[in-house]
Amino acid sequence: MVGVNLNIIMLLFQPSVVARGLAKRLAELGHNVTPIVGDVMNLDQYMDTTDIFIFNLPTMIVEYSDEIEALQVVCDRMIQKNKKMILVGERELHQELERIYHDVYRFGWVSRPVETQDLLNAIDMALFGTTAPDVDIKKRVLIVDDDPDYAKVVKSWIGDHYKVDIVTAGMQAISFLLKLPENETVNLILLDYEMPVVNGPQMLQMLRQDPATAHIPVVFLTGVDTRDAVAKVMALKPDGYILKSATKDELLNYLFKKLGQ
Q: What is the pLDDT of residues 56-90, one digit of tens each?
A: 998 888 887 888 889 989 998 998 898 999 999 88
Position 233 pLDDT exceeds 70: no
DSSP E strands, the chain: 7-12, 32-37, 52-56, 85-89, 108-111, 140-144, 163-167, 188-192, 218-222, 240-243
Position 131 pLDDT exceeds 60: no
Q: H helices within 159-224, ranges in order?
A: 170-178, 200-209
Q: How far apart are the first and last CA of the chain?
A: 26
What residue spans in the chain does CATH classification 3.40.50.2300 cover?
A: 7-128, 140-259
pLDDT per position as a tens digit, 149-186: 999 999 999 998 899 999 999 899 999 998 888 778 89
Give mean pLDDT, residues 41-47: 88
What count of other Cβ atoms lies within 10 Å of the Cβ of residue 146?
Answer: 18
Measured between alpha carbons, how far is residue 6 from residues 21, 26, 35, 123, 171 in Å? 17, 9, 14, 10, 41
Please state the pTM of the whole predicted model.
0.51
With CA atoms as reference, report the closest residue to 236 among 219, 215, 254.
219
pLDDT per position as a tens digit, 5-14: 899 999 998 8
Position 134 pLDDT exceeds 60: no
Q: What is the CATH number of domain 7-128?
A: 3.40.50.2300
Residue 135: pLDDT band (50, 70, 90) is very low
Homologous superfamily (CATH) of 140-259 is Response regulator (3.40.50.2300)
Average pLDDT value over all residues in the chain: 85
